[in-house]
Each structure stands twice: as C-alpha cells, then as structure tokens.
Amino acid sequence: MSRGDRMSAIDANAAAAPAIVDEKPDPALGLISWQRVLLLLAAGLAVALLPLVLAGKDYFWVNILTYTYLFAGLAVAWNIIAGFGGQFSLGHGVFFAIGAYTTARLFLDWQVSPWIGVLPGAFACAVIGPLVFLPTFRLKGSFFAIATLAFNEVGFVFANYLESVTGGPRGLQVPFRAGFFNMIFSDPRAYSLVMFAYLVTALVVVIALMRSRLGYYLLAVREDEDAARAAGISVRQVKIRATALSAALTALGGGLFAIYVRTIDPLTLFSLPDVGVKFALLSLIGGIGTITGPVLGAFLIIPLESYLRATLGGADPGVHLILVGLVMLLAALFMRRGVTGAIEHLWLRWQHRSRR
C-alpha cells in the first residue's frame, strides 16, 4: 500500500470515529455530561440532608450534623491542593484560623455581619496562601508536609502573642445576639443549614474546577511535574491558583466556625488533631483525590467520633480516641483507596458478575 493510500485510510477511520469533543472527561466523575453531574450532585446532597430532616429536634444529633457538614466542606477544600494537586498540606489550619479571627474581629469591632465578614478572610487567604506556600512548592511528599507543619506552628505562636488582634491565649468571644443579620440563631438547625450551604458551595466549586482546564493541569502536575512542564504547563502557576482556591474555601469555613462556636482561641484553631490533620484524615478515609471521598469520610468519622466522645469520654477518657483510631487503622489496611475506592471496587465486581 502506497503512502497516499495509507493516509486516505487513516483519514477515513478518523472520520468514522465517534466525535467526543463536546463531552469533557471529568477525572473524578468520568466521561459524563454536565446534566448528569448536576443530577448526581442533587441526589447526593438530598441524601446528605436527609439525616438532618430525620433528626428533627434532637439537638444532640443536629449539633453533630452541623460539624459533619462543616468538616466535609473543609475536607473538600483541602482535597483541592492535596488530593488533586499532590501537595500534602498540614498548614491549612492557618487559613482556617485567619478566616475565624477576621470574621470575629469584624463583627466585634465594626459590627460587620458575618454574612459579609467571612469574605475578607477568604480573599486574604487567597493572597497569603500562595505567597507562603510559594517557597515550598519545590518540595515534595513528606518534605512539603513538614514545611507546611512548620507554617502552622508559626501561626500558633503569632496568634498567642498578637493579643490586640487574636486576644492571645484567652481568645475572642462573640456575644450571643440572636438574629439573621448576626448569623446567630436560637434554633441549632439553622446552623446546620448554613454549614450545609457551605458544603454545597465547596462541592460546586470543586466540580467546576475539575471539569476546567485548570483541573486537568492540576492532575497532570500531580502525576508528573516534569512531563507537565514539558507539555507547556506552568507548574508554578497551577499550584498557585489551586492553593489560592483551597485557602479561600478553608478560610470561609473558619469564619463560619467562629460564629457557630462563638469562642475561639489559638489552641482550638491551630490544633493539629482537631483541625489540620483532621482535614487530611477525612479525605484519606473517604478517598483522597476524589470529589465524594472527603464527604464520605466526614460522614463516617465525625458522627462516630462525636458519639463515642459523648458516650464513652466521661466514664473512660481516651477510649473513644482508641476506637476511632482502630477504625482508621482498619480503613488504611483494607481500603487503600478509601471508602470511595472500596465502593467502586464492589460496584465493578457486581457488574462483572452480572455480565456472566
């Protein structure tokens, strides 16, 4: 066959191939349309909201669900830079604290409504995050994690000594003045709805990100930075933009947390077990690098931890931590890809058996 005949055959095959240009592949959701993505999102959110409806006026469970929604959104925000970007951060507690302190200070000093007060902290972290992480972007793996851990410790020291801003070790207290303008409610279920709205916002942002060019670039950088750079991708710019987005969403959650608990201090905001590391654990248990993983991790760990603390923490201090740690250990041993990966594996096995 001559060269001209071969070229004609290739052109004919290309013309006969199905066109998939209009269908954007989503690394996390598969090759599906926007309509189906939105339908799946709506169905998942309806399932997530169902426990709040069933809880009714059982404020013990309402409080647990409020924390679950909040930390699910925070884990989704952390997963942007760590799960999709491959930069395992332990310094997101600083962004969380900046959002909390900014919202509380604006409310206490200038009576700025938290509905607006959460935004300056988010904008500040969108700038501060890339500036602080920029020198560490050359580091990888555990070295990057250690560098961001040091960033968290520096933030803790500053928060302890800047009493004019943070209140020092005593922290800040937001007075209880119930009202929609103040984002302070007499009915705890209202806080659950606010945190649920935050989770929805985080999920929508991440889904839009992962179906955009930046999302594809981010995954390429995670898989192989050198190959991505050779393909013409600006690795530094991709990391900067992803960090800005992740830090802003984390600060937004910190502001909501400050108004909900109304008492914030450095030990609470910069605690690695309760804040910094928890973002990572929820994503790892649920499935890091997936959209649904952090949410599933939060719905598994936060209610379990809260329930065990309430039932066992008083009689046998520390037992609830042992049990939660055991659950995490079993998940790490038998679900290497998290809950999401385990569910996907079972689904594929069921499909394989059904085809026989």
Chain centroid offset of residue 354 CA:
35
Q: What is the mean pLDDT of residues 17-42?
A: 58
Q: Judge whether 304 lies within some domain.
A: no
Q: Judge whether 64 lies within some domain.
A: yes
* pLDDT value of residue 274: 86
pLDDT at 149 over 60: yes
Alpha-carbon distance of 219 to 212, in angstroms, equals 11
pLDDT at 297 over 80: yes
Q: Give tens-digit pLDDT for 231-243.
A: 999 999 999 999 9
Out of 128-132, 202-206, 217-221, 342-346, least confident range: 342-346
Q: What is the pTM of this model?
A: 0.88
* Number of separate domains in the chain: 1
pLDDT at 21 over 50: no
| Burial annotation 30-58 (CB, 10 A radius, 16+ → b, else e) | eeeeeeebeeebeeebeebbebbeebeee
- Domain residue limits at 39: 34-271
DSSP conformation letters of 154-173: HHHHHHHH-HHHH-GGG-EE
Q: Judge whether 164 lies within some domain.
A: yes
Token pair of 122 as six digits: 């988010």
Distances (CA, A) of 22 to 18, 97, 209: 11, 42, 17
Q: Judge whether 331 lies within some domain.
A: no
